[in-house]
Structure 1
C-alpha cells in the first residue's frame, strides 16, 4: 500500500514539473503570436507566483479539511484545466486569467505532497521525489521543442501537457481510497503515537513557533540562490567571463542537471547522514561553487566547474529542510509550517532574481557569484541556528525525564 501511494506521488511530482519550464521554452514564439513585448512573461510568472503563495498559506486548512489525496486531485485538475486554457488563449489577457488557477493549484499540491512524504516516508524518498520533479521540468521543454520543430503552434504543446495532467487527475480520483489508508496507518510515528487531526493553525501563530523565522529565512535564501542561478548563470558567463554563448548555455544547464543528479545520489545517503548533515553539506558545497565562479582567473574552467558544483550543493537542501519539518516543529504542526515554507520559497524565487537584474544593470554582472555567496551564507547561518535551537529543545526534554 505504501509503495503504491509512493509511486503515485512520484508520478505526481513529474507531472508538477512538466509545466514549470513550458513558458520559458515557448515564450519566444508566444509573445510574437500574442503581440506583446518579451518582458510581459514576467507578468504571467508573477500572477502564477502570487497564486502559489496564497494557496500554500491555505494548504494547512485545505489538507486538514479534505485530506492530502483530495487536495492533490483537485489541484492537479486545476492545473490541467489551466494548461488546456493556455492552449486556447489567443490573447494575453486570457493567458493571465488562466494563470490564476494554474498558480493556485500548484501551490496547494506542492505543500500537501511535501508534508505527506515528510510524515510517512524516509528521507531518501524526499530526495528522489524532488529529483523526479527535475525530470518533469526537463521534459516539458523537450515536448514543447518537439512540437515547435514539427511545425505545430505553441498551443499544441500546452494542450499535450494539459492532457497528461488530465489523465493524472483521473488516475488520482481512483487512488483516493489508498491515500486515506496510508494517512491512518502508523509510519514514522513512534510506538503508540498517532497523528491527531488538529484544527488549522493560524498563520501568525505558526510564524511565532520557536525556530520558524530561522527556517523561513533559510528557505528564502536557498530559493533565491537557486532561482538566480537558473536565470542569470548563462548571461554572467557570456557578458562577464566572455564564454561563447553555446558553451555558456550548456554549462548553465549543468546547474539544473547537477541538482537533479545530486538529488538522485542524495537519496542513497540521506537516511544514513540525516537531514541536518545533508543541509550543512549542501550549503557549504553551494558556497564553494559560488567561490569557484568568482575566482578572478584568466581561464574560465573554474567558473564553469563552479556551476556544476553549485548545482550539486543545492541538491539536498530543499528536500532535507522539508523532511526535517515534522521533527523540528511537531507532526501536528508540519502542514501549516510547510505551507509557510512554500510561500517563503516562492517569495525568494519571485523577488530575488529580478533584484539581481537591477543590480547587474546599474553596477556590474560581476556581482553574480557574490550575490550567490550572500544567500548561501544566509542559508547556512539560519539552518545552523535552527539546529542549535532543536538540539537545546531535545536536551531539555531529556533532562526532564
Structure 2
C-alpha cells in the first residue's frame, strides 16, 4: 500500500511539471500571433509564479483543512483547466486570466508534498520525486514540438497536453480513497508535531544562515525558470535554429534534469547532499560557459544538457539538507520560506531577464544565467563555511565541558 502511495505522489509531480516548460518553447510561435512584445512572456510567467506563491503560503491551512489528496486533485484540475483555456484563448487578456489558476494550482500541493517527503523519506526519494517533475517538464516540450513541426498549431499542442493533464486528474480522483487511507495518519501526526514545535520555533529569519539558504533558493529557481522560458528564444534568435529544433533542444535540458535526478537518487545513497549540491552547481556553470563562447550551435545543445544535469540534484538536495542544517524543530517553517523564495525567484528573475533582453538583445541570456548560478554557488559555499565553523566550535565546547 505504501508503494502505491509513493506512485500517487510521483504522478502528482508529473502533473506539476507538465505545464512548467510549455510557455517558453511555445512563445516564439505565440508572440507574432498575438502581436505581443518579447517581454510579455516574462509578465505571463510572473502571473503564474505569483499565483503559485499565494497558494504555497496558504498550503498549511489548505492541507490541514482538506487533506493532501483532495488538494492534489483540485490543484491538478485547476492546472488542466488553465492549459485547456490557453488552447482556446482569443487574446492576451485571456492568456493572463488563464495564467492565474495555472499558478494557483501548483503552490499548495508542491509545498505539501515537498515537506512530507523531506520529513518522512530519505534523500533518494526526494530526488526521485523531483525526477518525476522533470518527466512532466520534459514531456511538455516534446508534445508541443511534435504539433508545431507537423501540420498543426500550438493551440492543438496545448489541447493535447490538457488531455494528458485531465487523465492525471482522473487518476488522482480515483486514488482519493487510497490517499485518505494511507496518508491520513502520517500527515495527521506531522500536523500534531508541528503544533507541538511551533511554540518552540524561533522566527526563521532570525536564525543565522537562513538568509543565505533563501538566497540560494531564489537564484536557483530564477536560473532554472529563466532557461526554460528564454532558452528557446535564445536558440532561435542567436543560434538561428528553427522553432521546432529549439523546442526539442530545450526539452533535452529538462530531460537532463529528469535523468540527473533519477541517477542522483542512487548516488545520494553514497554521496552527501552537500557534495551533490556543489558538483551540480559547478556542472551547471560549465554548461553555461558553452553557451557564452562563440562555438557552433551543436555546443549549445551540450551546454543545455550539462546545465540540466547540473541543476538536477540542487533543489531536492537543498530541501533535504534543511532539517540537518537548522534542526528538525525549525525545518517546516524554514521550508515554507524556502518555497516562497523559490517561487519569488521564478516570478521575478525571468521577467527581469526578458526586460534586459528587450532593451538590448536576447544574447544577454547566458550571461544572466551564469550570474544567477554563481550567486547561488557563493551563497551555499558561505553557508557551508559557517555551518562547518559552527560544528567545530560545538565540538570544542563539548571537549572543554568534558574536562
Same fold (TM over 0.5): yes
Q: Which segment is superposed worse, 84-93 or 211-220?
A: 84-93
Deviation at residue 23 of structure 1 after TM alignment = 4.4
Out of 126, 146, 164, the position equivalent to 2:167 is 164
Deviation at residue 109 of structure 1 after TM alignment = 0.8
Deviation at residue 340 of structure 1 after TM alignment = 2.1
Residues 359 and 276 of structure 1: CA distance in aligned 2, closer, same or farther (over 3 Å): same
Deviation at residue 107 of structure 1 after TM alignment = 0.8
Deviation at residue 379 of structure 1 after TM alignment = 1.0
1:104 equivalent in alignment to 2:107: no
Deviation at residue 247 of structure 1 after TM alignment = 5.7
Residues 204 and 224 of structure 1: CA distance in aligned 2, closer, same or farther (over 3 Å): farther
Deviation at residue 53 of structure 1 after TM alignment = 1.0
> Counterpart of 1:272 in 2: which secondary structure?
coil
Q: CA RMSD in A?
A: 3.6
Question: Does the CA-based 8 Å contact 1:195-1:331 persist in structure 2?
Answer: no
Question: Does the CA-based 8 Å contact 1:198-1:332 persist in structure 2?
Answer: no
Structure 1 runs not aligned, ≥5 long: 187-193
Q: Which segment is superposed worse, 146-155 or 304-313?
A: 146-155
The total of aligned residue pairs comes to 391
Find the aligned partners of 2:244 and 2:97 in 1 and give their Cα distance.
36
Find the aligned partners of 1:369 and 1:80 in 2 and give their Cα distance.
32
Q: Deviations over 1:317-359 (max 9, x none)?
A: 1111111122223334333322322222222222222323333
Find the aligned partners of 1:88 and 1:292 in 2 and give their Cα distance.
38
Q: Deviations over 1:160-203 (max 9, x none)?
A: 245224313413421122112334679xxxxxxx94534769x9
Aligned positions of 1:291-310 closer than 5 A:
291-296=289-294, 299=296, 302-310=299-307
**Could you tell me which residue of structure 2 aligns to residue 230 of structure 1?**
228
**Could you tell me which residue of structure 1 aligns to residue 180 of structure 2?**
176
Question: Does the CA-based 8 Å contact 2:141-2:250 persist in structure 1?
Answer: no
**Could you tell me which residue of structure 1 aligns to residue 213 of structure 2?**
215
Q: Which segment is superposed worse, 53-62 or 3-12?
A: 53-62
Residues 147 and 301 of structure 1: CA distance in aligned 2, closer, same or farther (over 3 Å): closer
Structure 2 runs not aligned, ≥5 long: none
Find the aligned partners of 1:360 and 1:295 in 2 and give their Cα distance.
18
Q: Deviations over 1:214-250 (max 9, x none)?
A: 0111111112222222333344455445667766555
> Counterpart of 2:19 in 1: which secondary structure?
helix
Q: Deviations over 1:294-334 (max 9, x none)?
A: 335x6555544333222211111111111112222333433
**Could you tell me which residue of structure 1 aligns to residue 120 of structure 2?**
120
